[in-house]
Structure 1
C-alpha cells in the first residue's frame, strides 16, 4: 500500500464497553468492521447491544429501519487473527494492561498486511512501549476514545516517537469521518486529558481528608459549571476501576488520597452500577442522593490517617481544583504534548465537561500573572506540588498568555 493509508476495512479487538462503542462508531460512518474477542459470547452480546442501540434510534426517528440494517450489515464477527490479515486499520480495545496489549500487537505484527495502521485505545499506557514490540512502529499510534465511544465526541490521537506523519494524517481524517473532535497528543502517562485529571482529582481527594465532603466538593464544581463534580464522575465510571488497576499493578494502594475509595470498594460501593458509591441511588435511578454514611466514612478515614479536619470553603475548593488543571496544562504545553492551549481546552470541553471555553482560556481570562501569584500562595501553604510550571514564569516575564504558545514555544 502507498503512504496515503486509505481506510476501507477496519477491525476491532475486544468486545467490552469500549470495543462496542468503537464498533458502532465505525459502522455508523460506513466503515466495515471485523470484530474479534477471545470470548465469542462477548461479541454476540456486543452485536445485540449495537442492534438495540439502532432500534432505539429508529424508534426516535433518528434513522430509518433500512439504515439500521445497513449499519448492522457492516459488522462481522471473526474467530481469529488470521481473519484480520487484509484490514487497513486495527483498533485494539482490551483492558488496560501493557503486557496484554504488547502480546496482541506482536500477533498483529506477524498477521496483518504491511501498511495497515495498528492503533491502541489505551487511556494512559505508553504507546512507544506498545509500538516497540512490532517491526513497524511507524504504523502504530493511540486512538483514545472516550466512553461511551459512540456518543462522546472527543478522540485523543496519540503520536508515538516513531509514528509516521501520514499515519497521523489518516487518523485525523478518520476522526473527522466518524464525527469526532480530534486532538493530537504526545505520548506521556495519561496523554492530555487523564494526565490533567490526575492532578485535579488528587486535590479533590486531598480536600476530603483535610475537611471537605464529596457532595460539598461536587456542588462547588457543578456550581462553577462542570457537567459533574469528581465524585459524581467516579460514581458514573465506577470507583472500582482504579481500585482494581492499583491491585493489578501492585502499587499506589497505600497512598492517603485513595483510602476513602478503597474503603468504599471494600464495602462493594462501586458507584451507580451497584446502587451505592460516594452517593446512593434509588433502584433503577441515576439520581445521586447525599448519603450521610459516606460523610461518616470520610471523617473516620481522615482521622485514622492523622488529619486535623478543618472547614474547607467553596473558594478554596474551586481554586485548588482549577489551578491544578491549569498548572498541569502549562507543563503539557511546555513539553509539547499538546500543540497549543486550544487543543487542551477542546479535550476538556468535549471529554470532561469543563464549562465555557476550557481551563486554559479561563486562565488567560484571569491573567497569567494572577494565576502565578495564586500558585505561589498555594505552594507556600501546601507544598512543592504547587510550584508554577516554568512556562508560566516565562509567559509572565514576557507579558504573554497561554493562547500565544505554539508547539511548546511562546
Structure 2
C-alpha cells in the first residue's frame, strides 16, 4: 500500500520523503516504483524523461526528524490502533505545527488516532484502495474535529492525483468497508446454508460485478482478515469465518500462493474450481449444524444487493455519507459494482423503496433480525421519496 501511495504522489508531480523502519523493505519498494514507471514507458503511457523525473521526486529517509518540514504525512502501516497512535504521537511532536497528519487506515477510529495529538483539527483519514496508483477511489475520512480547511486540502490532493474522492464520516469501515462487511457476511452465510463459492461468485458476476466475494478474497489475500483476527485476539470463533480459518490453516491464502477458495495454475490468475474446497465447505457447515439446501442465483443476488442497500441506508441515516450519490461512487470506483446499474442506492431507487422494504421485511421474517430494515427506508417510503432525496441525513 505504501508503495502504491508513493507512486501515485510522485506521478502527480509531488515530491515525497519515504520513511520505513525496515531499510530492506524500503529498498525493495523503491525498486518496485522504478520498475512500475519503466513498464509505463514501455507501454507508451509516459516518456523516459517523465519516468526519471518521477523517480527523482522520491527520497528515502531514515528518521522522523527528516519529515519535520513536510506539509502532509500519510501513515500506511498495518491495521493496529496502538501502533498508529504511537506513530501519530511521534509525528505530532516532530512535524511543523501547520502539517496535516493522515492515516491510510481502512477501518480504524480516526478520532482515537487524532486524540493522541495536539492537533486533532489537522488529522484525517486518506483511505487509498490497493493498488493505490491504479485504483481511482479515495475515501477522505473526517474526524469529529477535522477542520473544513483540511478537508478542502484533501479534496484538492485527490483531484491532483486523479482520484474520485468521497468524504466519509468516522465509523468502523467508513462507507466502503462497512458495507462490504454486510455483503461478505451474507455470502458466507449462503455458503453455510447450501451454496458453494463458484455459485455465489458466478451469480454476482453474471449480475455485473467485476468479481464475486470469494474471488475477491483470493485476490486480496484470504489471510489478511485471518491475521487481523489473530492480532486482535477476537472473532476467531465466529461461525461465519470458519471456512476462511480452515483455508488459512491449510496455507490456502489465495492467488498469491496458487490456492485459496480456488486453485490457480502456476503464473495464472485464472480461478479454477477446487473440489477440496467444496468438500471443506460442506464439512464445516454440517459441523455447525446447518441443513444444506439448494440456493438459487436470484436469491444470491437479492440477498447480496439488499445487504449492501440496507447498510447503505444506515450510513445515510447516520450522515456518514452526505448523499446516496457518494455511496454509489464508492461502490462503482472501489468495489467493482456494475457501472451500468449505477450503484447500489441507485439500483434500490430503481426497484422502488416500497418493494425494497417488503423484501427486507420478508428476509427478516425468514432469516433473522440482522435483516431489520433501516429506519430511513420506512421514512422514505412514507414520504414517497427515494435515497436520492436524502442530504446529510435529512429527507
Q: How does 1:144-155 map to 2 (within 5 A)?
A: 144-155=127-138
Distance in 2 of aligned mates of 1:281 and 1:173: 41
The Cα shift of 1:394 comes to: 0.1
Aligned match for 1:68, one of 45, 51, 54: 51
The Cα shift of 1:43 comes to: 1.0
Deviations 1:146-190 (A, max 9, x none): 000000000000000000000000000000001000000000000
Aligned match for 1:370, one of 339, 350, 355: 355
Distance in 2 of aligned mates of 1:266 and 1:323: 32
Distance in 2 of aligned mates of 1:395 and 1:114: 45
Distance in 1 of aligned mates of 2:381 and 2:161: 40
The Cα shift of 1:285 comes to: 0.3
Q: Normalised by the size of structure 2, how large is the TM-score? A: 0.99
1:387 equivalenced with 2:339 (yes/no): no
Instruction: Report the counterpart of residue 279 of structure 1 in structure 2.
Output: 262
What number of residue pairs does the alignment pair up?
A: 393
Aligned match for 1:172, one of 140, 144, 155: 155
Instruction: Report the counterpart of residue 407 of structure 1 in structure 2.
Output: 392
DSSP-derived class of the 1:49 partner? helix
1:58 equivalenced with 2:58 (yes/no): no
Distance in 2 of aligned mates of 1:308 and 1:387: 24
The Cα shift of 1:249 comes to: 0.5
Instruction: Report the counterpart of residue 358 of structure 1 in structure 2.
Output: 343
1:326 equivalenced with 2:288 (yes/no): no
Deviations 1:354-378 (A, max 9, x none): 0120000000000010000000000
DSSP-derived class of the 2:290 partner? coil
1:340 equivalenced with 2:328 (yes/no): no
1:34 equivalenced with 2:17 (yes/no): yes
The Cα shift of 1:194 comes to: 0.2
DSSP-derived class of the 2:279 partner? helix
Distance in 1 of aligned mates of 2:28 and 2:392: 44
Instruction: Report the counterpart of residue 96 of structure 1 in structure 2.
Output: 79
Deviations 1:370-392 (A, max 9, x none): 00000000000001111110000
Deviations 1:303-346 (A, max 9, x none): 11111000111111111100000000000000000000000000
The Cα shift of 1:78 comes to: 0.3
Deviations 1:23-73 (A, max 9, x none): 000000000000000011111101100000000011111111000000000
DSSP-derived class of the 1:76 partner? strand
1:128 equivalenced with 2:111 (yes/no): yes
1:192 equivalenced with 2:170 (yes/no): no
Instruction: Report the counterpart of residue 229 of structure 2 in structure 1.
Output: 246
**Structure 2: unaligned runs, 5 residues or longer:** none
**Structure 1: unaligned runs, 5 residues or longer:** 1-17
Distance in 1 of aligned mates of 2:160 and 2:287: 53
Deviations 1:83-138 (A, max 9, x none): 00000000000000000000000000000000111000000000000000000000
1:216 equivalenced with 2:216 (yes/no): no
Distance in 2 of aligned mates of 1:42 and 1:282: 28
Distance in 2 of aligned mates of 1:211 and 1:245: 27
Distance in 1 of aligned mates of 2:374 and 2:43: 49
1:397 equivalenced with 2:382 (yes/no): yes
1:294 equivalenced with 2:299 (yes/no): no
Q: Over aligned residues, Cα RMSD in angstroms?
A: 0.4
1:113 equivalenced with 2:96 (yes/no): yes
> Which structure 1 residue ranges, 4+ long, deviate > 2 Å from structure 2?
none
